[in-house]
Amino acid sequence: MGINYDELILGEKTDFFLRRLSINLAILGFLLHLLTCFLYRIQYLDLSETNDFFDSYLDSLYTPFSIILAYEVYELIRAIPESFSNSIGKQFEVISLLVVRDIFKNLAEIDDSNVNVIDSDVAFIAVEAFAFTILFATALYFRKMIHSPIVSSSKEPAIERFIHQKQKLACALAVVYVLVAVYSFTSWTIGFVNGDNELSRTVFFLDFFTWLIVSDIIILLSSYKHITDFLPLARNTGFVLSTVIIRVGIGTPGYTGTALFILSAVLATSVLRLSVLDWENMTPEEE
């Protein structure tokens, strides 16, 4: 009996194991980071070259959210074989957590400052908080629509093959995910040891979303074998465009990057809402 790699990589047992592991590592990482911040505060540890990572207790929130984000990215990959809509919804869940992590980082910088009022920083945090609200609402909207009983249960052989192809693609993306994660973590660790301790959302996510766009485009082009109606083609193309906008936003700092996140959320929500108007005519092959 051969090994079922789809089940091994994307199965429920693997998901359960990784979820438990990520939660335990998040708790452990948070406590260790918090302890390190405390030891640095009482001058027990000399971390002069990396003090930006330990000079505020709020910095300790960065570690558990990074671990949870790593698991959520895996969940995003698992959603790819299910439907385009489901994977896009998971994508906005990931980005919303990424924005929250950035907010914690920016709050830590203010917390460590001796300046009583930092108008520009507070204004930017307010904009990021607004962006998080929009992204979170978008993720909830996608989840609501995906769980609506609007998709037929028929399964044609061609559609089964298409789903199987998406499973293989998701497995390949999972392997790429591990490789990118290892490379990003190694590069960041080397820079951290050398004193380059900048905390940036571009680490890992910029490269991963590049590969995610590649996989989305492959799925989109492959779907042309099974989809003849304009509605699902336009919808899936709009979803790919929203992913590209997110990818650009990740690599763009400041207000512009946050505005791109909001734009992506508005675009994806609008595309999904417009497609719902004629969703009763859709079949599983369009997913």
Report the b/e string of 215-249 with b at 16+ CB within 10 A.
bbeebbeebeebbeeebbeebbebbbbbbbbbbbb
Query: In the structure encoding, which two tokens stand for residue 75, read together?
Result: 């969940």
User: Structural domain tally of the chain?
Assistant: 1
pLDDT in tens, the chain (287 residues): 457 778 889 999 999 999 999 999 999 999 999 998 888 888 777 766 666 677 788 888 999 999 999 999 999 999 998 888 899 999 999 999 999 999 998 888 886 555 555 567 788 999 999 999 999 999 999 998 876 544 444 456 767 778 888 999 999 999 999 999 999 988 888 877 776 666 788 899 999 999 999 999 998 888 877 776 778 888 889 999 999 999 999 999 889 999 999 999 999 999 998 887 755 554 444 44
* Residue 91 near residue 249, CB atoms below 8 Å: no
- This prediction's pTM: 0.86
DSSP structure class, residue 203: T
CA distance 115 to 103: 18
User: Domain residues for 163?
Assistant: 5-286
Comparing C-alpha atoms, which of 273, 240, 238, 266 is closest to residue 131? 266
Tokens 């700092």 -> residue: 253
CA distance 116 to 231: 54
Residue 268 contacts by C-beta under 8 Å, 6 or more apart in sequence?
A: 88, 92, 138, 142, 238, 239, 242
